[in-house]
Structure 1
Amino acid sequence: MAIIRCIDMHGGHFEVTPDDLSPGFSELGDYFFVAIPEHRFYIDDVPLAEVLHQGAAVWAWSPGFYAGEVVAELISQDKLIASYRLDVSPHATKLGRESFSQMIDEILSFDANLLFGTEHAQTKIGIDGSSTNPHLQYSRLRQYGAQLITACTRVTEKPLTRLRRERTQANANHVKRLDQQAIRKALRDPAALSFLHSSAAPSCAPDQVQFDISTVFNDLDHPANQTLACTLIEVMRRCRQVSLEFQAQLNKKDRESSTRSALAPRLVRRIEYLESLYGSLRRIQRMEPFRSLKNSSLSAAGLNAVSAHPVYARAYRFAWYTLRSGWMGDTNGESLWISPTWEIYERWCYVKIVEQMRQRYPQLEWVGEYPSQRVDCIRWIGKGTDFEVSVWLQVQCSSFGEMPYKGFSSISRQRFPDIVITLESPEASRFFIADAKYRVSRQGVLEGMESAHIYRDSLRWNGRRPDCVVLLVPKGGGVSGVESDDYRRTNGVGVVVMGCGDDAVVVANIWDELGSPLTATME
């Protein structure tokens, strides 16, 4: 068993064992794995650099802004020696593990598209629904690809056949029995006719006379083989599609970010795996029974034959596992990469605010939509007879001189505030902005207040300034003065603590303070 020793940032030592979930890792921490000679250590397809630490060779690793399960691999001479599961917890001063797990569950229940991203950490997923993306497709190809190859190889060792009768030409000395059709044809051939009479002398040698006989042989062009060949082609096509998607992302220059993990270094190894998997499937496709098939297609007869044969059923099952879509429902042993912790917090805040606004205005008809091609742009609209309340996530505020987007504009450069609430009615309009910041320290909160001031001064909705701009933080106490109601009422900006309790009500209460006409009518 390839057990690796790890040293944490405080000098503590602990062991990481293959396949078991290994705790002890934290977001933004520093860790050193004791290096094994002639081996390489990969964290989510990225090789760790070997450095010296206290005189010993180690692999250095520092998790970024992410939390969840991270996959690590020990490689020697391009062969996998062991796999590890590293459990990275969220930063202790910002979010506890239970709070973070609750946020993930609530986002999943609201809209799973808001959760998944490209960070190193993963979370367990289900198999329901029709949503998919290249990363989900790759994850399933990677998880089930080796098992599919093994299952298909067993199929090639002893493929299913069916008896097939065919008319062939055979020399007289090889014929044992003639049917009526063969006799009728032989009667029209003088050379063959001489062999049918025992008293007649053959006019030529037996190997020079041929009879048309019925032959029975095992045919590989079987419905089960056709069905399996069809799924094999689809898996190969999926490999190519995902590889091309990754290649396009690799060629697209990533914008450097201190809060997101770079994706490009991981794509290189993933493309190599997809090409290797495609090559293995292509070699199987050139073997029997697949090379003898006249066509490949799904059929009821083929599916029945596959389900009745354990080896074929296993190959078909793993092919289907690699091709299926969906990530909802109960977890099924699969996992998928998620967004950074700060983005998860931001989107969770949006989910909770939408819930609060729907509770505030239950008589409105609420509907969610993606008004643009950007996945992170969502609008929930509550429509009434004379009122319309909208809650936006990452709405585009067009830069100065450009056409406003849905009424949103900026008097400086283009901006994307995290959460925007608007109300439009014949009596009044309201424009409220909430900016989620995954920060708790005094310096972090004060730096985050910069965006609140910029949004208050530069953003417009139908020419209207924001009525209020607040900063949302997971824990309070960093700068207690700016969390007070008096500070917010006096300056039009402030900080609101929004954790996993009932803090979302505070945002709804601030919205009510702005004087919603509909709220007044309800009261």
Structure 2
Amino acid sequence: MPLLKRLLTSFIADPPTLTSRSRQVTHLNFTQRVDIKTMRWLAKKPSLLAELRGNSATPCGNVRPLVDQPNTLESFRHPVTGYFAHLLNRLLRRFKESADLLRNGPGRAFRDQTIEEHAWALAASLDKSADEIRGILSLHPFREIQPEPPSDTTLQLLSDHPLYSAIHRVAHLLLAPGLAYGPNGSVLSALKHTYDLFELFVLYRLLSELPGNLGSEWIFLDGKPTNRLRREERPEDRAVWLFKGPDDLSLELHYQQWFTRAKAPLDHRRFTSLSGLNIPDYTLVLKRGTTIIAWIILDAKYRSGRQAVDQGLGDVHRYRDALRVRGVRAHGAFVVVPRLQEEKAVYSMNEYFDLHAFGAIQLFSPGWLNPVAKIFKSVSSSE
């Protein structure tokens, strides 16, 4: 939205004008040149021509004669301006619908206070953006224009003018159903798809709750990456956060870590894969000093239906079999889901976790990080 606002400010400072030409019979304008059509028109009216030359027998004093002549009108009612007004009105409707959905949340089956507060904050942000758009529409030249969909002429003008093309692209990104981020986390659209938001939500829950689940002596070492990011912005792939624990223990949280193709039968590089490039959502690596003693794979899946859970479990099963850290296989692999349906409850039972170090973690269940903490505590104490 800030980018669109800057582009529209540049547009308002120098809006396009529309020049229309017509002909009308009116008092002769001595400030403009007479065109060929006017001369031909006068040639057919000798009495009027004589009056203009001052040879008329019935002089009319200072009254200028009526003559057919060209008339040029310039206005700000340009089709591009009408199209941009049309886009801004569409954005107003989209922002209102989105804000209403965020506040009412009819589709949120599992209510959580943190989620509700964040949804209301997002709705307030949309309301603020809508007010900014209304302010823009009240300015010249938008207040004098009739909104209209794009014509072929308008689309041609957009492609020929960099500023108009940029406004068109940014507005359509805001109207798109989802949000995309560039590699550096810059926003390219308005709202992310739900599964992308859930992935980021799980990340921030991990950052805030991991130390408390591992023990009272654990601390979050580096808070700068999270402080620099807004909650909807995506960190860069392979971003790392550090936690410090007792007895020279430390924990690394890797986001979207790339596990690259193996280059040798025994490949002891940091992050490798036996079956080509793989990128799990979160990789937790427990170290004592500089030695890796355990690591766990987590993958976020927003949908809790049977097919989605089966697919998520299949993904983390493949990750556990294929991925290596310094040649070591993962000590556990879990899919993180909001809730599980009754028929899938077995995957989140403590007995299932203890037997297989594998399963589905329910994010909104008390002690959701217990399976992760249990593995790390067991390995660190028995080492």
- Report the TM-score, using the length of structure 1 for normalisation: 0.39
Alignment of 1:320-339 (within 5 A): 337-339=190-192
1:453 aligns with 2:376: no
Equivalent in 262, 270, 276 of residue 413 of structure 1: 276
Letter in 2 for 1:341: T
CA separation in 2, counterparts of 1:389 and 1:364? 10
SS in 2 for 1:479: helix
Shift of 1:262: 6.7
Letter in 1 for 2:251: V
Letter in 1 for 2:191: I
Match of residue 93 from structure 2: 72
Shift of 1:448: 2.1
Alignment of 1:118-129 (within 5 A): 123-125=123-125
Q: Does the 8 A contact of 1:43 with 1:72 survive in 2?
A: no
Q: Does the 8 A contact of 1:387 with 1:518 survive in 2?
A: no
Q: Does the 8 A contact of 1:369 with 1:380 survive in 2?
A: no
SS in 2 for 1:454: helix
CA separation in 2, counterparts of 1:43 and 1:406? 55
1:341 aligns with 2:194: yes
Shift of 1:365: 5.3
Percentage identity across aligned positions? 17
Match of residue 396 from structure 1: 258
- Alignment RMSD (CA, Å): 4.9
Shift of 1:100: 3.5
- Report the TM-score, using the length of structure 2 for normalisation: 0.52
Shift of 1:381: 0.6
The unaligned stretches of length 5 or more in structure 2 are 1-82, 145-161, 181-186, 227-232
Q: Residues 352 and 244 from structure 1, CA distance in 2 versus in 1: closer, same or farther, beyond 3 angstroms? A: same
Give deviations 1:113-158, integer Å, cap 9, x for gaps. xxxxxxxxx63339xxxxxxxxx9xx897554334547999xxxxx
CA separation in 2, counterparts of 1:438 and 1:489? 24
Alignment of 1:164-313 (within 5 A): 240=163, 243=166, 246=169, 261=177
Shift of 1:425: 0.9
1:375 aligns with 2:235: yes
Match of residue 153 from structure 2: none
The worse-fitting range, judged by mean Cα deviation, of 141-150 and 481-490 is 141-150
Give deviations 1:256-302, integer Å, cap 9, x for gaps. xxxx94789xxxxxxxxxxxxxxxxxxxxxxxxxxxxxxxxxxxxxx
1:482 aligns with 2:347: yes
Q: Residues 245 and 84 from structure 1, CA distance in 2 versus in 1: closer, same or farther, beyond 3 angstroms? A: closer
The structure whose residues are more often strand, as a share, is: 1
CA separation in 2, counterparts of 1:484 and 1:510? 10
Q: Residues 341 and 374 from structure 1, CA distance in 2 versus in 1: closer, same or farther, beyond 3 angstroms? A: closer
Alignment of 1:353-372 (within 5 A): 353-359=206-212, 360=214, 362-364=217-219, 366-368=221-223
Q: Does the 8 A contact of 1:72 with 1:84 survive in 2?
A: yes
Q: Residues 44 and 411 from structure 1, CA distance in 2 versus in 1: closer, same or farther, beyond 3 angstroms? A: farther
Q: Residues 485 and 338 from structure 1, CA distance in 2 versus in 1: closer, same or farther, beyond 3 angstroms? A: same
Alignment of 1:506-517 (within 5 A): 506-507=368-369, 509-516=370-377
SS in 2 for 1:72: helix
SS in 1 for 2:97: strand
Q: Does the 8 A contact of 2:293 with 2:380 survive in 1?
A: no
Letter in 1 for 2:97: R
Shift of 1:429: 1.4
Q: Does the 8 A contact of 1:430 with 1:516 survive in 2?
A: no
Shift of 1:345: 1.7
Q: Does the 8 A contact of 2:285 with 2:292 survive in 1?
A: no
Equivalent in 87, 92, 100 of residue 107 of structure 2: 92
Shift of 1:399: 3.3
CA separation in 1, counterparts of 2:378 and 2:164? 52
Letter in 2 for 1:396: W
CA separation in 2, counterparts of 1:263 and 1:436? 18
CA separation in 2, counterparts of 1:414 and 1:422? 19
Aligned length: 254
